[in-house]
């Protein structure tokens, strides 16, 4: 089962948003949800601009940047748990760890591949934050323009200490977790948790 192609547009839009926002201010307060997303954008863009191999599409270089600048800001345990759904409760600690690691590698491959779809003309507009910045769970909204018209991208964040973690995103009304949950359910029904783990590691 190949997961690298799932939600390709979603992942590309997410990465495009991070990269194209780099012209924003370099130092931002992580406590503000909108600024948190902008901060990731700025840090990621700086890393890409300073790495000639990454700009030329080198997979290893891109993987390194994604691993260092993007993945630490994603709550992989929560994202995986919600994507797996009910079967997560029956999984052993070892299986849960394997699921998280396998899903992380799947997203890493997909995110890294999306870097090659970003162009200098890609732009992002952060929408005004309308939630409660003091809440523990918020949604940050943006609009990305990447050559084929505007794309709405929403990021679901949870409070993590004094900052935030991303655990889901929505592109044109398609939530990442729900989409993967549908994919995972089919794999689990055929081969159980271990079958899903094997599929994620292919």
Q: Is the pLDDT of residue 4 over 50?
A: no
The share of the chain scoring above pLDDT 90, in percent, equals 43
pLDDT digits (tens, 9 = 90+) for 7-62: 455 555 555 555 444 433 333 345 689 889 878 866 776 777 778 888 788 889 98
Q: What was the pLDDT predicted at 122?
A: 66
pLDDT digits (tens, 9 = 90+) for 130-177: 888 789 999 999 887 766 778 888 999 999 888 899 999 888 888 999
Q: Is the pLDDT of residue 6 over 50?
A: no
Which positions ≥6 away from 164 have C-beta within 8 Å?
A: 30, 33, 36, 73, 138, 157, 158
Task: Tell me how far apart the alpha carbons of residues 108 and 114 are, in angstroms, rounded to a whole number.
Answer: 10
Average pLDDT over residues 109-129: 73
Task: Please tell me which residue, 23 or 98, carries the higher pLDDT value.
Answer: 98
Q: What was the pLDDT predicted at 20?
A: 43
Q: Is the pLDDT of residue 3 over 70?
A: no
The per-residue b/e assignment along 131-154, b for 16 or more CB within 10 angstroms, e otherwise, is eeeeeeebbbbbebebeeeebebb
Q: Break the chain into its structural domains and give their ranges.
A: 8-200
CATH number assigned to the domain covering 8-200: 3.10.450.710
Number of H helices, E strands in the chain: 7, 5
Task: Please tell me which residue, 147 or 193, carries the higher pLDDT value.
Answer: 193
Q: What was the pLDDT predicted at 165?
A: 95
Q: What was the pLDDT predicted at 116?
A: 65
Which positions ≥6 away from 174 have C-beta within 8 Å?
A: 7, 10
Task: Please tell me which residue, 143 or 104, carries the higher pLDDT value.
Answer: 104
Q: What was the pLDDT predicted at 84?
A: 98
Average pLDDT over residues 77-86: 98
Q: What was the pLDDT predicted at 11?
A: 53
pLDDT digits (tens, 9 = 90+) for 175-190: 999 999 999 999 999 9
Q: What was the pLDDT predicted at 28?
A: 39
């Amino acid at each position: 089962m190949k997961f690298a192609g799932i939600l390709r547009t979603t992942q590309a839009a997410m990465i495009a948003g991070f990269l194209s926002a780099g012209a924003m201010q370099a130092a931002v307060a992580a406590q503000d949800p909108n600024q948190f997303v902008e901060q990731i954008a700025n840090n990621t863009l700086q890393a890409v601009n300073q790495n000639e191999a990454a700009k030329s599409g080198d997979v290893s270089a891109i993987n390194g940047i994604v691993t260092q600048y993007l993945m630490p800001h994603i709550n992989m345990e929560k994202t995986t748990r919600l994507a797996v759904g009910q079967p997560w409760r029956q999984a052993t600690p070892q299986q849960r760890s394997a699921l998280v690691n396998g899903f992380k590698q799947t997203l890493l491959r997909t995110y890294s591949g999306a870097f090659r779809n970003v162009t200098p003309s890609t732009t992002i507009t952060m929408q005004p934050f309308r939630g409660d910045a003091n809440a523990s769970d918020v949604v940050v909204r943006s609009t990305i323009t990447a050559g084929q018209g505007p794309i709405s991208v929403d990021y679901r964040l949870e409070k993590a200490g004094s900052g935030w973690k991303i655990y889901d995103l929505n592109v044109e009304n398609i939530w990442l977790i729900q989409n993967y949950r549908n994919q995972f359910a089919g794999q689990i029904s055929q081969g159980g948790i271990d079958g899903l783990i094997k599929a994620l590691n292919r």
